[in-house]
Amino acid sequence: MQMNLNFKLLMLNGISYHPKPSPQFPTLQSHGHRFFRMASNFVSTRASTQPLKNAGELIDSMETFILDCDGVLWKGDKLIDGVPKTLDMLRSKGKRLIFVTNNSRKSRRQHKKKFDSLGISISEDDIFPSYFAAASYLKSINFSKHKKVYVIGEDGIFEELELAGFQCLGGPVYFEKNKDIS
């Protein structure tokens, strides 16, 4: 099977994927805390210098595709050519798509708005920023909601931790008030 050019675009930028369920790789569960606990079971691949001989076989052997956002789906505010067609193809084959990002400026709600503005229809539950994993981790270790979390970072981290029920200090408000301190 000749490799679809649109899929090649995503492969060159890197895709992590999850094989079909097996004892070694259990099925991905849809909520953040389960995703975080299972992250160590994921296989990660990058395009090698050898050409992919059968893209269809690779796609058919996968249940879930994990795609980075910045530089893979879009650059700045511009969608990369071929992305919608590729996502539609993966969805038509029943593949689960998970979108990851380390951009902490936006909450999951704000990331969803960006997807919407680019014409990509997804659920907020399919977006897993690094700070969502952090909030999920705190939940998984039963971190007391009476304790405070000091945030060194952007709005997205702060908002997501507060949505998870954690009390936060620091964050963008602190840095804005103290930006002249050297």
Catalytic residues: 63
Instruction: Specify the DSSP element, H or E, that contains 102.
Output: none
Q: Which residues pair with 162 in a beta bridge?
A: none
For residue 18, the SS3 value is: strand
Q: At what angle do helices 130-140 and 155-163 cross, to 10 degrees?
A: 30
User: Looking at the DSSP assignment, which residues form a beta bridge with residue 128?
Assistant: 100
Between CA 38 and CA 31 the distance in angstroms is 11
